[in-house]
């Protein structure tokens, strides 16, 4: 094939790129209307509505929720079948499992702590960490199966100490879950699993039904309908975030290998027609070589895949959302990168560590020529559920902290409250919160106030 759809852009200021720097999670009004209707029915009708939409969207005819709950027998059968049929896949999953568990265990040790301080006699302040009790995990299914997402969402919850983990995933056309998923659910010791997909899954988890108890938080990726549903139920339950199209930014200089850059840009394009693949380079020759290599590798992959690669998605994504940007100033390119706040950032520059210190906004960062995004997607141990659409400005990858809640602790004895009472009363009186002020004063009206507190 002959391609000619990429060009080198040479912006002079960040504003020149405003058309493609914006976040790209857009929810069509028709999607919002459909999602709102389904959620409303589930909130009112519970099981009846869930079963109705399981039939309509999942193609699963069931008379009760028990019929769409995965049994222990199904789990055992899926585990046994997968173990024998996919030995290489099982070996890879085992390595991924151990690496993800190891990373999040260290994260747990570093991040979570209960602490107290006593700034002065009679006053104690602190914070306690407690795991969320019940978490719902949504696992996409259907045409594509993502076992890596099972590990990425469930392992941190288990490391954090979540007591109850319930999973929803859409069934195959035969009404069953994929055996690879069953294998992983069994290995992870998950025993509450429902064959429910889409909006109806999010509604069941968020509101609960006669048969499914509501959860405290929902995590996991999904399509625009799932994402919209998560947005609508937020507040009723917690959510991990709203995922838009995936994106990668590669910062490169003259030392970077154009072959590697091209391969990584193409791999990002494989996700979705809306995925963004962006190269920011200080070397014009590198930019030229990457463009030629993208054409060459895309052509090779399409011809060599035997039709298994989704060529139309890759080409549409590259044509619409691939950008090759040149500027001789690495500081200018780093400013652009921080403005984009990418989901994935690869740094292929001579001074990777020096550049890293200047990065303010990025979800997951990959250093050097031999750390492509695919490493993080599957095996490194870091989490691949990462904020998109510039939201890494204020959000983080999924981690154990997503499955914890913090409670602040305060203790005053009589003498300490007497010492600071006037400040509380002044502030409360100014804000016209007279009952607040009285709650302090009442403790000193009686000269015999209890001083044993």
Is there a common fold for 8-23+245-381 and 29-239?
yes
Could you tell me the mean pLDDT of each successive run of 10 residues in the chain, 453 residues long?
Answer: 88 77 70 95 97 93 94 93 92 97 95 91 95 97 84 97 97 91 96 96 98 97 93 96 92 98 96 94 98 95 85 94 96 94 97 97 97 97 94 94 95 96 96 96 76 54
Phi-psi region of 37 (alpha: psi -120 to 50; beta: other; left: phi over 0): alpha
Segments in 161-283 forming alpha helices (H): 179-187, 198-207, 224-233, 258-269
Answer whether 38's CB lies under 8 Å from 49's CB.
Answer: yes
Q: Which of 404, 405, 388 is nearest to 396 (CA)?
A: 388
Residue 264's nearest CA partner among 297, 303, 300, 231 is 297
CA neighbor of 146 nearest in space, from 222, 208, 203, 79: 222
Alpha helices in 341-413 (DSSP H): 352-356, 373-378
Strand partners, 366: 346
DSSP secondary structure code for residue 17 in this structure: G
**What's CA 405's distance to the chain center, in Å?**
17
Specify whether 344 is catalytic. Answer: yes
What per-residue confidence (pLDDT) applies to 450?
56
Question: Among the options 74, 247, 293, 343, which is catalytic?
Answer: 343
Rg (CA), the chain: 26
Q: What pLDDT is stored for residue 308 in this prediction? A: 83
Q: Which residue in the list 74, 104, 247, 344 is annotated as catalytic?
A: 344
Alpha carbons 268 and 449: distance in angstroms, whole number? 68
CB 139 within 8 A of CB 150: yes
Q: Is the Cβ–Cβ distance between 22 and 274 less than 8 Å?
A: no
Task: Verify whether residue 94 is a known catalytic residue.
Answer: no
Task: Please name which of 225, 238, 165 lies closest in space to residue 199, comparing C-alpha atoms.
Answer: 225
How far apart are alpha carbons 6 and 18 in whole angstroms?
A: 18
Q: Phi/psi at 195 (nearest 5 deg)?
A: -85, 70
> CA-to-CA distance for 111 and 127, rounded, in angstroms?
13
Phi-psi region at 433: left, alpha or beta (left = phi > 0; alpha = psi -120 to 50): beta
Contact 247, 388 (CB under 8 A): yes
Q: What is the spatial distance between Cα 366 and Cα 372, in angstroms, rounded to a whole number? A: 7
Rounded to whole angstroms, the Cα distance separating 226 from 34 reads 11
Distance CA 376, CA 211 (A): 37
What pLDDT score does 327 carry?
A: 96
Specify the 3-state DSSP secondary structure of 255: coil
Say if CB 291 and CB 4 are below 8 A apart: no
CATH number for the 8-23+245-381 domain, one of 3.90.1150.10, 3.10.560.10, 3.40.50.300, 3.40.50.1980?
A: 3.40.50.1980
What's the helix, strand, coil split of the chain in %, to 5? Answer: 50, 15, 35
DSSP letter, residue 174 = T
- CA dist list (Å): 324 to 1, 255, 282, 371: 21, 17, 11, 20
Torsion angles phi and psi, residue 408, rounded to 5: -85, 150
- Range 29-239 has CATH code 3.40.50.1010: no
Centre a 10 Å sphere on the Cβ of residue 368 and count the other Cβ atoms it contains: 14
1 burial level (CB within 10 Å; 0-12, 13-18, 19+)? exposed
pTM for the full model? 0.92
Phi, psi of 366 (to 5 degrees): -125, 125
Q: How far is it, in rounded angstroms, from Cα 136 to Cα 154?
A: 10
pLDDT at 307: 77
Q: What are phi and psi of 32, to 5 degrees?
A: -60, -40
CA–CA separation, 378 and 53 (whole Å):
33
- The domain spans of the chain are 8-23+245-381, 29-239, 413-441
Element (H, E) at 56: helix 47-57
């Amino acid at each position: 094939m002959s391609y000619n759809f990429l060009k080198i852009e040479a912006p002079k200021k960040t504003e020149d790129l405003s058309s493609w720097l914006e976040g790209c999670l857009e929810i069509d009004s028709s999607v919002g209307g459909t999602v709102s209707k389904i959620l409303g029915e589930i909130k009112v009708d519970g099981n009846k509505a869930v079963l109705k939409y399981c039939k309509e969207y999942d193609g699963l005819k069931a008379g009760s929720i028990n019929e769409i709950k995965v049994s222990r027998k199904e789990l055992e059968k899926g585990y046994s079948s997968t173990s024998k049929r996919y030995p290489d896949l099982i070996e890879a999953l085992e390595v991924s499992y151990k690496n993800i568990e190891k990373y999040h265990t260290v994260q747990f040790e570093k991040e979570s702590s209960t602490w107290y301080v006593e700034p002065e006699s009679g006053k104690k302040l602190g914070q306690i960490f407690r795991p969320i009790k019940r978490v719902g995990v949504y696992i996409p299914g259907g045409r594509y199966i993502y076992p890596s997402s099972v590990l990425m969402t469930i392992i941190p919850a288990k490391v954090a100490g979540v007591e109850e983990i319930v999973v929803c995933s859409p069934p195959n056309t035969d009404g069953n879950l994929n055996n690879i998923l069953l294998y992983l659910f069994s290995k992870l010791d998950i025993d509450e699993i429902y064959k429910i997909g889409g909006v109806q899954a999010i509604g069941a988890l968020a509101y609960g039904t006669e048969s499914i108890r509501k959860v405290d938080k929902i995590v996991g990726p999904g399509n625009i309908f799932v994402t919209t549903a998560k947005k609508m139920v937020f507040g009723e339950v917690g959510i991990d975030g709203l995922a838009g199209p995936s994106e990668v930014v590669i910062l490169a200089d003259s030392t970077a290998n154009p072959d590697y850059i091209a391969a990584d840009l193409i791999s990002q394009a494989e996700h979705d027609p809306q995925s963004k693949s962006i190269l920011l380079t200080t070397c014009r020759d590198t930019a030229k070589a990457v463009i030629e290599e993208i054409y060459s590798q895309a052509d090779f992959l399409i011809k060599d895949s035997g039709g298994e690669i989704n060529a139309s998605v890759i080409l549409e994504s590259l044509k619409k959302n691939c950008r090759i940007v040149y500027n001789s100033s690495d500081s200018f390119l780093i400013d652009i990168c921080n403005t984009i706040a990418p989901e994935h950032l690869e740094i292929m520059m001579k001074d990777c560590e020096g550049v890293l210190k200047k990065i303010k906004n990025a979800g997951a960062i990959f250093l050097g020529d031999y750390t492509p995004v695919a490493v993080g997607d599957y095996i490194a141990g870091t989490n691949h559920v990462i904020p998109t659409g510039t939201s890494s400005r204020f959000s983080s990858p999924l981690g154990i902290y997503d499955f914890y809640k913090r409670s602040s602790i305060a203790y005053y004895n009589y003498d300490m409250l007497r010492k600071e009472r006037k400040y509380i009363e002044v502030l409360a009186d100014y804000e016209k919160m007279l009952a607040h002020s009285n709650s302090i004063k009442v403790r000193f009206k009686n000269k015999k106030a209890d001083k044993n507190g």
